[in-house]
Structure 1
Amino acid sequence: MAKVGITAADARTARPRRVTQQASFDTGLDHARSYAARHGHLAVPRGESRNGYQLGTWLVDKRKRATDGRLPRNRADALNTIDPWWNPPWGLPWQTAYHTVKAENRGRTLNTAAGLPGLPPDATRWLLTQCINYDDLHPGQQHLLTHLGITSKDAHAARPQQETRRRPRAGASRPRPTTVSSSIDGGLPYARSYAHTHDGLGTAHYDTEHNGFPLGWWLYEQRKRANAHVRRTGQPWPHEHALAALDPWWNPPWRISWQHTYTGLRSALAEDQRPSASQRHWLTTQHTNWHTLHPYQRTLLTAISLNPTNEHLPATHSK
């Protein structure tokens, strides 16, 4: 005993633990049951208390222990019995938002094809985001969405609401679209038409509309889906080829703003126009920072006659 630091004096003054770990867990479990009986879940925020008990903090500790493999199996099972998704692999914020939307929905039938009419704006945006990213969701998340009445078919049929838009005031900024077709097929015809007219998708900015469709915002959402899929699976996004066929650099590994500037400049040069002052400054910056550019960026710049050995910028002279 001395070797582990317990002396005779320590042994004489030793007292049993006032509250055993099991008793402490049982107390938290009772509060968890009470909370779930009222709310139907255990997506409890960190600061939430229940009858003076810090249930949120207690659950944060249990989630961390479960994730680290330090929560005994019988205790994890006890929490799973109350709520199978008490420790969701996709994180608590999604789970909290899901239950908020579920409460706001109040069991009504959701019509994704009509843009989910009748829901509060925040709930509509959240649900349409789930539809847009449906293929990239965890199977457990997809299963939970079925409890709201959203199946794979519903998600892929999601469409924006048909609203009458007022003409914006002079000088007013363009409102951000709140809904967009979630299906790759819903926006692909517009992307194909735009790419044919503009020689690619590189000039489609965030607020670009094409034939009344919010193409820029749709492309932004598709880039998010593609990047999330790669991060989650390590595999190419299944719809990558459809957009890459229209523009190989529709989702470049560098900032999309660089691609916008490059494509605009390339178009100006193709039409034998003199680059603007800002475009000439941009070209100078690329020339100066050539060594920091991605290899494919260098390839694109070489295509418009810019390379590190050039002493003059391409086509900066008037005809």
Structure 2
Amino acid sequence: MALRTSTSSGQATSVVALDPQHEDTDEDEDEQAADEAVDSASTAEDHGEDHLEESAGSAEAGSGPQEEEESGAEAAGVPLLRFSLPRNPDVIAAFLRTRVLRPDSEVWLSGLNALRRWVQTHGDAQVPLDAEVPIGATEGDGGDSDGGTYALGAWVSEQRRQFRLGTLKPWRAELLDELGMVWSVADARFWKNLAAARVYHAVHGTLAAPKDAVVDGVAVGQWLANLRKAGGLGRDEERAAERRRALEAIDPDWNPDWPIDWQRRYAALASLIADQATLAELLPGVTFGDQDIGAWLEAQREGWEQLSDGQRERLSGLGVTPLPKPEVPPAKARKGASGAFERGVAALERYKTRTGSVKVPRGHTEKILVDGQEHAVKLGVWRSNMRSRQASLPLEQRRQLAVLGLFDWLTRG
């Protein structure tokens, strides 16, 4: 049912025309309902409204252009509602929609009016579950509170429950939407935190935030870490996909296949290069924040083969290349030293294959066969020696031990 309003310039009156030509075809609204709406409007005094008077076709004598227009509308069969004082058309429309055109229970309307007052006071419809408002806030005419309270938070929660189940009447959902109803608290929290994540990215160039990162009071680092967990984006696949797209729009590498610490240092390297730093200048000791990016860069170049394709691709995009392999002949080893190292590596490989770990008890001895001869390798002592001599080991030996997982010098920051 469309509403057309007009106010006479010479008299303090308002007229509302109920236009049947624009009437909705909703199953709950037909021509009979429109006629009954006009009759019911005459009882609006009970709700604090001015007396409504239906004009069936009479017009006052000596009327001006405004009255002639009203007479024409009446002659065309358009019901008119006259008010003794000017009224806000939006208020009239809301009244007719909820009380006359689509009659609803006073219990539900009390909650709607309470939510309207909440929005007017707080600027949004994000109502906490335990929120209570004065009873006066539920009155349609804005009367004062009588000392009681209305459980608005519980009422809003019930509307959300009915909405999820599909049992909320469409026009109730429409009225709530007009007030900015927050149907999903989780969604509202996600988009709020996403705004904080966008600010973090603008500053740091990455969403690989440490867990203690906080932006505008939002623990954005921990929030992102939770999202990266299995099912962190939510159980609903469509909603999860939407959230993933939103995060990838900010940073495609927000959830990389490699360690998040690596991604954070890569972002720091990219930031330095964007600030006109050259790779030749980024030597060990050059820091970015509390990170030694120079030492990290050298480790990536040394351990190039151990990096994933994605990591190498990103470093290559910044102009990083692997270190050339040394061509000098290896130094002569002490008698038996090379053999001892190789036996230790073979023993560690055998131990790792059997146990799945390279954490060897110090007193453990591993037996291996070399050229058909059995050797008892004191693996626990050997492992401890290798870790303590890590910095002095030849590059090739360090690489072999890194591949086995004995230490993480290739990717540590």
TM-score (norm 2): 0.37
TM-score (norm 1): 0.47
Structure number having the greater strand percentage: 2
Higher relative contact order (CA 8 A, sep 6+): 1
Larger Rg: 2
